[in-house]
Amino acid sequence: MLNIKKVGHAGTLDPMATGVLPIAVGEATKCISFVQEKNKKYSFTVKWGERTETDDSEGKVIQKSDNRPTEDQILKVISSFLGEIFQKPPIYSAIKINGQRSYKLARKKIFVEHKLRSVKIHKLILKKIPNNDCAHFEVTCSKGTYIRSLARDIAEKLNTTGHISALRRLSVGNFVEKNTIFMDFSNEIIHSPSVLNNILPIEAVLDDIPALPITKHEARKLKLGQKIQLNSLEFKNKFITLYPCYNKFKKICAINDNHLVALIEIEEGLVKPKRIINY
């Protein structure tokens, strides 16, 4: 739609899910990995009493339970899911097994037992109980968290069964719902100037990464792929004062005039360009 050759997305959404999906265009595709590392926030609804093969409402019901949890029981159980937890991804997931997606194998009735994965649940809130059969939640979690698995495990711990009946991603890092562009692929999107106002600069995804200020001359060297002695940089003292432990960071932004020049590494006193950004 934007007549740009390179486009990429940062994190898949479940087929039934809605919400925030960061899309990188042009040179921003070089920074997708930084978006993928950020925490995510979801709202989701669990329907009690039925477990499905996909752990959401699109799958076949494979187990039922007449047990319905009370509000007190739910509140007590969800507190045990905070912090680092181990969860088993759904068999209907995009995880690759010997080069094939798990969900494709599952559709062929080839079921693989996934290993437990470590994820972090930073916040888990019970938002509302509209009736005995379901409950609305909100969660902030690390990358790699499967909300369908979380819902399944919450239900199991409540001595019942359950599956996701609604799922919406509210944010990915600093990409939030209120700034989204509705991607209905209509002519209105392509020809609307207001859409372009919502496209954020590359620097927006690097707000939590150390920034090394450099001059125009130093920027030119990095763009040519040249290494530079850290001690020779004009603003090295300012940078070292702000980031005395800069050696701990795998990637650092080289910035000139508030624009990203390159993603760099600093090793043995040398500034090494790793990804050049060409505006």
**Radius of gyration in angstroms for the set of CA atoms belonging to the chain, rounded to a whole number:** 23
Question: How much is the pLDDT for 278?
Answer: 85
Catalytic residue among 14, 55, 56, 153: 14
Return the domain boundaries, the chain: 1-202, 209-276
Spatial separation of the C-alpha atoms in residues 167 and 273, rounded to whole Å = 40
Confirm if 164 and 57 have CB atoms less than 8 A apart: yes
3.30.2350.10, 1.10.150.120, 3.40.50.720, 3.30.950.10: which CATH number matches 1-202? Answer: 3.30.2350.10
Question: How much is the pLDDT for 11?
Answer: 79
Look at residue 108 and give its three-state secondary structure: coil
Domain over 209-276 is classified CATH 2.30.130.10: yes
Beta strand residue intervals within 65-112, DSSP E? 83-87, 96-97, 100-101
Q: What is the DSSP letter of 38?
A: S
Question: How much is the pLDDT for 102?
Answer: 75
Question: How much is the pLDDT for 111?
Answer: 72
Question: How much is the pLDDT for 190?
Answer: 62
Nearest to 234 by CA among 219, 253, 250, 247: 219
Question: How much is the pLDDT for 100?
Answer: 75
Question: How much is the pLDDT for 187?
Answer: 61
Question: 86: how many CB neighbours lie within 10 A of its CB?
Answer: 10
pTM of the entire predicted model: 0.86
Whether 14 is catalytic = yes
Burial class (CB in 10 A: 0-12, 13-18, 19+), 103: middle
pLDDT in tens, the chain (279 residues): 677 888 888 878 888 899 999 999 888 998 888 888 899 999 999 999 999 999 999 989 999 999 999 999 999 999 999 999 999 887 767 777 777 777 777 677 777 777 889 999 999 999 999 999 999 999 999 999 999 999 999 999 999 999 999 999 999 998 999 888 877 655 666 666 666 677 888 888 888 889 999 999 999 999 999 999 999 999 989 999 999 888 888 889 999 998 899 999 998 889 999 999 887
